[in-house]
Structure 1
Amino acid sequence: MKPARHPLAFDAIVVLAALAGLANLPARAQTCAAPTPLPADSTVTSFTCGAENFTPPALSGPGAVLRLALDHPVSLDLTLAGIEPQFDPALCVMDAANPCGAGPCLATGNALTPIMLDNLPAGAYWVIVTASPSSAAGSCGMFGLTSQIVPADTILANGFD
């Protein structure tokens, strides 16, 4: 005779499996005070909801804050993707010498226009994802951000085709 199975056993397994899939997502609140590090050559999946709230002119609404630290000049490519169909994300790279969200964007992008910065100097940068300017006020959602970082001296050493 088989032992009786608890009726919630399957539900608990499904919930644990779903949570395990979310384990690689950073914490929801990526603020200026606690930004998520942006690793080289990686994809970060996260949310703008519940994160830092920005005011115009450079940024507007809830936004996720990532921090990029460079030891040497690089070529930086950032590709942004909205994961939810109702969320249209936008991207801004700012020099971290300015307060978070307060300086001008060095470059902007969105899901259709990646950011490509050649010979970006060593230093620290804010990488901020918010809703696009054409979105409704307060819009937020889930996004994916892929970074590709190549040291500038590698590009020069390999020459041009």
Structure 2
Amino acid sequence: MLNALEVFTTVVVGLMVGVEFSVAFVINRILDALPEESGVLGRAHGGRMLGAVMPVWYISSLVLVAILAIAGWGQDGAGLLATAGALLIVSVIMSVLLLVPINNRSKTWTPDNRPVDWKEQKNRWDRFHYVRVAVIIAAFTLLTAALT
């Protein structure tokens, strides 16, 4: 049973990392290369869509890693799992405090109602997102190292 939980957790966290990496280094670059109006609409749609899914995904990933850390406490890899969980907590805190406020504004933007500083806000979100991606990659790395 624990092996199945380890595999499931690895897949859930790995897919989350992959999606967030793709947003940072593929999707947003594509949207930025589109005409400005299309890029604004694309980011707003992505913000609405992923903004609804990612909170559940982040919390689920954290809970799964915490369960593994508790179940394996005192065994090899437990410290790595605890550290991975701590990094996922950092990613959730970063999301709530830094990224979500910008996302909540930008997901309503259209070419007609975007604020004057929309590019600065977009760039700030991107910079925070790069850091968050690095944090969750580190968490995923620790998770996989703990389980192998």
- The structure with the largest strand share of the pair is 1
Give TM-score scaled by structure 2 length: 0.25
Higher relative contact order (CA 8 A, sep 6+): 2
Greater gyration radius: 1
Give TM-score scaled by structure 1 length: 0.24
